[in-house]
């Protein structure tokens, strides 16, 4: 009789290929068997006939603020929020204080995460004008998924400005490079045209669609010139969509990300949410939101990412534009997009491809993203029949708020497993900070 550590019986297993009722056998942190395992035994047996099993979500864009800004988030609180939202792997961005722009800064983050992280992790190294010739070496260091580039300024002081510096950054390395795409020259030109303290509703006019379009057009040209794979983050405008579609049609190594807030929220909500809605690039009009949704349905986007970027309510209460850009989102990434799927906006198979399978493929993550034999037993058990109301109090982020408060979402997370260990039970986290650095198969 076959013996497992954990048996999940009668669950609906979700993949990009389809949904099938199967038993899942977990042994030594891996998926060891699939199919009819009713004759097997296990230390833990879960009857999951009313549940769906998804691979653990992979959020490839979070800002956990450590070191330097731990009052609003740290690696423990951020990864706890992640695991409670079904995110079992995160990639954290380099705009901390100090910035992650050296091997020693990367080692420091890896050390900080050890024994404190509730999910698995990787830390991007930031491109900066002073380290461009070292990027090829940095992207191959243990613990990093590669190099992040800010082509437009956002939170922090990481910026690679000008076409020559951006070209140079792309020339040093081969792994996909995630990029914040806004044109810095245009951002600076438009900064003062609405007066000293305008209403935050002008944020999408200051950081206007043309700033995003100009930058994305230039980055695609540099991709074609250098051959470097690029991954354009948080697309926010309808104007960028044909550029990306054309680049993909021509076979360029261009991929792109879309966030829940650009798919769910619109500029009307600046009147109610105020600076809580303030992000870079901005949440824009309903016209942009609908166009981006259509691009999701057309298959343009590769991945969903949260761009989790928390600030305290006190910081957000500052008058615009002193108020910082950014909102929390790692804990709501999977629930918000699952809700959209259950409301008929996209199939569960597409959700699983974009939030689990494709991120693992894009960044060469070993053993994650699929519920298949030999893969890490990272999985989410979800009751698709139940609904819940999002509240600030349910958020594990130190910032203590969410722009989705009051929203009813379909689908509740019942259990989360990380490498075979149950880390969330009955929707509540267990105190198991067992996160490890992700392994990659880049040579």
**What are the residue numbers of the active site?**
307
The SS3 assignment for 170 reads: helix
The SS3 assignment for 346 reads: coil
- Which tokens go with 266? 């619109």
Name the one residue in this structure whose structure tokens are 């007066």: 195
The SS3 assignment for 214 reads: helix
Query: Rounded CA gap, 429 and 416, in Å?
Result: 9
Decide: residue 271, CB within 10 A, 0-12 exposed, 13-18 middle, 19+ buried.
exposed
Cβ neighbours of residue 11 under 8 Å, at least 6 residues apart?
21, 22, 23, 24, 48, 49, 51, 52, 53, 381
Residue 359, H or E segment: helix 358-362
Q: What is the largest CA-CA distance in the chain?
A: 74
Query: Rounded CA gap, 7 and 25, in Å?
Result: 5
Query: Rounded CA gap, 153 and 289, in Å?
Result: 23
Q: Which residues pair with 437 in a beta bridge?
A: 121
Q: Which residues pair with 4 in a beta bridge?
A: 42
Query: Rounded CA gap, 104 and 250, in Å?
Result: 39
Query: Rounded CA gap, 236 and 215, in Å?
Result: 12
CB 292 within 8 A of CB 286: no
Cβ neighbours of residue 196 under 8 Å, at least 6 residues apart?
none
Question: Torsions phi, psi of 34, nearest 5?
Answer: -135, 150
CB 64 within 8 A of CB 48: no
Which stretches within 85-162 are classed as H helix? 103-113, 135-138
> 230-232 and 379-389 as β-strands: parallel, antiparallel, unpaired?
unpaired
Dihedral Cα 369, 375, 377, 383, nearest 10 deg: 50
Question: What b-and-e string marks burial along 38-77, b requiring 16 or more CB atoms within 10 Å of the CB?
Answer: eebebeeebebeebbbbbbbbbbbbbbbbbebbebbbbbb
């Amino acid at each position: 009789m076959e013996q497992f550590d954990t048996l999940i019986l009668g669950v609906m297993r979700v993949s990009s290929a389809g949904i099938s009722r199967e038993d899942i056998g977990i042994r030594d942190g891996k998926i060891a068997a699939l199919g009819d395992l009713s004759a097997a035994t296990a230390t833990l047996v879960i009857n999951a006939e009313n549940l769906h099993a998804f691979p653990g979500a992979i959020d490839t864009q979070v800002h956990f603020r450590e070191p330097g800004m731990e009052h609003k988030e740290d690696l423990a609180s951020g990864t706890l929020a992640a695991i409670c939202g079904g995110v079992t792997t995160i990639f954290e961005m380099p705009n901390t204080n100090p910035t992650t722009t050296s091997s020693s800064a990367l080692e420091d983050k890896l050390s900080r995460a050890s024994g404190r992280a509730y999910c698995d992790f990787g830390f991007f190294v930031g491109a900066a004008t002073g380290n461009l010739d070292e990027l090829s070496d940095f992207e191959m260091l243990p613990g990093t998924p590669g190099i992040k580039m800010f082509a437009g300024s956002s939170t922090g002081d990481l910026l690679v400005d000008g076409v020559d510096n951006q070209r140079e950054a792309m020339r040093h390395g081969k792994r996909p490079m995630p990029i914040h795409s806004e044109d810095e020259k245009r951002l600076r030109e438009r900064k003062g045209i609405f007066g000293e303290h305008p209403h935050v509703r002008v944020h999408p006019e200051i950081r206007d669609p043309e700033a995003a379009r100009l930058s994305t057009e230039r980055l695609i040209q540099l991709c074609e010139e250098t051959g470097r794979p690029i991954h354009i983050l948080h697309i926010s405008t309808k104007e960028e969509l044909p550029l990306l579609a054309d680049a993909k049609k021509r076979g360029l190594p261009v991929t792109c990300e879309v966030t829940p807030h650009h798919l769910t929220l619109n500029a009307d909500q600046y009147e109610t949410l105020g600076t809580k809605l303030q992000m870079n690039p901005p949440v824009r009009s309903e016209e942009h939101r609908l166009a981006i949704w259509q691009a999701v349905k057309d298959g343009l986007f590769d991945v969903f990412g949260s761009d989790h970027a928390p600030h305290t309510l006190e910081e957000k209460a500052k008058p615009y534009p002193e108020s910082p850009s950014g909102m929390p989102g790692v804990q709501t990434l999977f629930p918000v997009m699952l809700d959209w799927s259950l409301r008929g906006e996209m199939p569960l198979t597409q959700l699983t491809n974009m939030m689990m399978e494709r991120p693992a493929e894009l960044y060469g993550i070993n053993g994650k993203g699929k519920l298949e034999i030999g893969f890490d037993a990272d999985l989410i058990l979800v009751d698709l029949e139940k609904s819940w109301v999002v509240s600030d109090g349910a958020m594990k982020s130190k910032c203590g708020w969410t722009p989705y408060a009051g929203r009813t979402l379909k689908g509740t997370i019942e259990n989360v497993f990380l490498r075979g260990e149950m880390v969330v039970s009955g929707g509540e986290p267990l105190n198991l900070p067992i996160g490890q650095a992700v392994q990659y198969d880049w040579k």
